[in-house]
Structure 1
Amino acid sequence: MDGGALGVLPIGAGVRGAALLQRFFVEFVAAFDEPAARVSWIASIGIAVQQFGSPVGSALSTKFGPRPVVMAGGILAALGMLLASFATSLTHLYLSIGLLSGSGWALTFTPTLACLSRYFSRLRSLAMGLALTGVGLSSFAFAPLFQWLLSYYAWRGTLLLVSAISLHLVACGALLRPLSLTEDPAVGGPGAQLASLLHHGPFLRYTVALTLINTGYFIPYVHLVAHLQDLDWDPLPAAFLLSVIAISDLVGRVVSGWLGDVVPGPVARLLMLWTTLTGVSLALFPVAQAPTALVALAVAYGFTSGALTPVAFSMLPELVGTGRIYCGLGLVQMVESIGGLLGAPLSGYLRDVTGNYTASFVVAGAFLLAGSGVLITLPRFFCVSAPTSKPQDLGTEALDTKVPLRREGWERTELQKDPESQRLAAPGLVPHMVPRGPRCLQHLDLSSATAGPGLLRCVCQLLGSCRGLLSLLGFHSHGCRIQEFSLLQ
């Protein structure tokens, strides 16, 4: 890891301030005598503003760099919490926490993750997992701390302390070291990047999937404490259960980040697995009544929900490239804000209608399962193997580190030097590159071949284990397609 990239690791502790609002949910309901649905809008507005304003943070980071943008975001987040401590109505909380602090989170979350992803290619998932452990650490530390502060200082005094904690984002932002990549000029300005992304089918499907996931993902962060109190749990044991979730979340992020780099196959499959398990565990919360069952379910939910986060962000550079990561991540955050805006109020409405949180958790789990279904449509999902980083990232990494790296697994060859390949050559095809490493037969592009593509595809699949045929076909060692062919005249 580059030392400059490590500067963003503490950012995760403060960025997810909206998730910490679950500790204040019950206090706000009692203080303002409002239904759960209206109080839920505080967190929903904060999450939505954070995500909807992400393109602004991306554009400012492209123009001025992530360091001043993140520092400004920390000031806004702290100012919003400070003003919220003087609120006399829910409208004041909507404007202070939801709008002002949410704007600060928008200027911190996207620039830090985008800056980090540009530093890594082969270990990107692990880097994301380690960076996002700050969320689990903050939840583990702040769950009992905030409960203790609420008992001694009430919610107004606690918000003042949260404002002081949020100011640490300014110091964390000062540690960022922006990186200039050689591919940055080639991708064009923000307008050109946006136009290309809006015509990028896999990116659009990925955005739809994350929007569905986001709709149900934040429900426990807002309503789990209230659900436990409906089960006659005391506040401190409920806070302990949240700490259990936080520890499992932390472990899940690290393990998932490591698996994303070492397990062969596309990262989308790991994301689909973790999303499915999270949706199932979320839907089972109303079923668990005994403390032992709730603790076991909390461990499962915390691990899987934490595990899906690093792979969700690490696979975006594979879809759009590191040069467009600022614009891509900002656009994804903006669109998925629709889910963050509607999820918590919908669950609060279901609670007010049904009298319990059973329907709320079941519907939240259904949204995550729907998102995992969309992930199946992403490219190379059913490939035998797929890259953990884009091939062009390897060359970019070599230029950035000033180390002469070669593309692993490739070497030039001539057909005449390999009698076996010459003997097995398909009529009309000559390979230009011979790869070594994992192969995939999912995306053969035989449109220019003189032989029938259907017949030739069958032959390739039947003889895929033959070394000579693999050398002939020129499978990319980091992808799932044939690299290059030319027709014999």
Structure 2
Amino acid sequence: MPDVSKGTAVCNAYGARPVVMIGGFLSGLGLILASQATTLVHLYLTMGLISGTGWALVFTPTIASLMQYFSTRRSLAMGLGLTGVGLSSFAFSPFFQYLVEAYGWRGALLILGGLSLNIVASGALIRPLEPRKVVKNNESNSMSDSSVSFFSRICEYFELSLLLHRGFLTYSLAVTCFNAGYFIPYVHLVAHSRLVGFSEYQAAFVISSTGVTDIVGRVVSGWVSYLPRVRSIHLLTIWTALVSLFLLLLPLQVNYRGLLAISLAYGFSAGAMTPLVFSVVPEIVGLERMVGALGLIQLIESVGGLFGAPLSGWLRDITGAYIWSFVLASGFLMAGTIITMLLPNFFSCTDPIPDCSPKKLSRDTVTEDEIFKQVLSLDSDEITQHANTKIAETLPSQNHITDWTEGGANC
């Protein structure tokens, strides 16, 4: 799988719009070339390398741009934006099967390649909000020191300094555990349903119904996270704990109605946790380093996705049933929940100021839009302390912001 952190590095250097457009072109080009493949190596190079690189360049910059557009209802925006993933997952399997039956696998890949090229048009609609952070830093450094080392530039583009950030490392480990257990039901649920005696149609309906409640869960999660006195990190631990519980209950169902009910509950909880996994990142590292943080997290968490499903399959081969596979998935989710609770300031009732908060911008070097965006990204404590400065004057009212008590509010 192509390294998604490369996509974030290029995004830091050139902005999200051109990166997503190039990624959309590569994803479509790879599928179109794959339709003409004659050997398995051709498929590896086209679908695996070219299309995979394109998808890596599309996903993270798109998520980061969406999160930058919203300062208050970010989780709800993420939930609504990610419903497209659930809809496509629900509809893709029968749609692709129809294309294969109607046009053959070559024609199906050719059509999918044409559809993927629409990402280019979608990427053109991304509106950049500010100059690129790394480029600005390099330009300022070039005026004071003309010889910036290659290694320091790599560290800036890839945000490698986050690897020394305690909160980031803790959260990356938690998300890796989430990823290790999250995909196991999607891999084994249909096979488990068939093994316990349900028909092929019933097994397929279980996984399709799970996809529907997944979509609903994403929207509900975003709405709930906007309620007052509710922190996204607390909601994330609640949803992941529920996912762990339902994964433990899935293999214990012996009748179809019970299996369907638990599957629906699992799909809802799994969908609810998905947007929060991304929305929590700015609370930990700040908006300025969010793009690099997302790329590094997805790079690290891929280790969990790589080993989770094969390990569960190995348990199935040893035991002859999928019970311990679901128990393993439940354990991964619960381990991630416990690790999340070890984050600094987890038990605070209010969002703390990130350790990597953006530097204050001067009025001589930034635009009005940047100042406004910087003020929206500040926490209540900073706004209260600088209420008489030029930045605070850009907002007509701060009545919606609650003053922090000295030392921070604790539950």
Asked if Structure 1 and Structure 2 have the same fold, meaning a TM-score greater than 0.5 normalized by the shorter chain, the answer is yes
Q: Which residue of 2 aligns with 1:222?
A: 187
Q: Which residue of 1 aligns with 2:155?
A: 191
Q: Which residue of 2 aligns with 1:245?
A: 210
Q: What does the per-residue CA deviation read over 1:244-269, in whole Å, with 9 as the maximum and x for residues that have no partner?
A: 11221111111111222224243221
SS of corresponding position for 1:380:
coil
CA distance, structure 2, for counterparts of residue 235 and residue 294 of structure 1: 14
Q: Which residue of 2 aligns with 1:74?
A: 24
Q: Which residue of 2 aligns with 1:345?
A: 310
Match of 1:284 among 242, 249, 260: 249
Q: Which residue of 1 aligns with 2:81?
A: 131
Within 5 A, what are the aligned runs for 1:92-171? 96-149=46-99, 158-171=108-121
SS of corresponding position for 2:229:
coil
How many residue pairs are counted as aligned between the two chains? 374
Q: What does the per-residue CA deviation read over 1:391-411, in whole Å, with 9 as the maximum and x for residues that have no partner?
A: 978x99x95387697986866
Q: TM-score, normalised by structure 2?
A: 0.77
Within 5 A, what are the aligned runs for 1:45-444? 49=1, 53-82=3-32, 96-149=46-99, 158-180=108-130, 185=136, 191-192=155-156, 194-386=159-351, 399-400=368-369, 437=402
Structure 1 contact 121–389 (Cα < 8 Å) conserved: no
Q: CA offset at residue 292 of structure 1? A: 1.1
Q: CA offset at residue 322 of structure 1? A: 0.9
CA distance, structure 1, for counterparts of residue 323 and residue 108 of structure 2: 30
Q: CA offset at residue 300 of structure 1? A: 0.7
CA distance, structure 2, for counterparts of residue 89 and residue 235 of structure 1: 32
- Structure 2, gaps ≥5 residues long: 142-152, 362-366, 387-399
Q: CA offset at residue 145 of structure 1? A: 3.1
CA distance, structure 2, for counterparts of residue 113 and residue 320 of structure 1: 16
CA distance, structure 2, for counterparts of residue 178 and residue 377 of structure 1: 35
Q: CA offset at residue 240 of structure 1? A: 3.0
Q: 1:403 to 1:80 in 2, by over 3 A?
A: closer
- Structure 1, gaps ≥5 residues long: 1-48, 414-434, 440-469, 482-489
Q: CA offset at residue 76 of structure 1? A: 2.9
User: Which structure has the larger Rg over C-alpha atoms?
Assistant: 1
Q: TM-score, normalised by structure 1?
A: 0.66
SS of corresponding position for 2:262:
helix
Q: CA offset at residue 101 of structure 1? A: 3.1
SS of corresponding position for 1:262:
coil
CA distance, structure 2, for counterparts of residue 142 and residue 267 of structure 1: 31
Structure 2 contact 232–280 (Cα < 8 Å) conserved: yes
Structure 2 contact 162–293 (Cα < 8 Å) conserved: yes
Q: CA offset at residue 355 of structure 1? A: 3.0
- Percent of aligned positions that are identical: 46
Q: CA offset at residue 323 of structure 1? A: 0.9
SS of corresponding position for 1:289:
coil
CA distance, structure 2, for counterparts of residue 159 and residue 388 of structure 1: 47
Structure 2 contact 288–357 (Cα < 8 Å) conserved: no
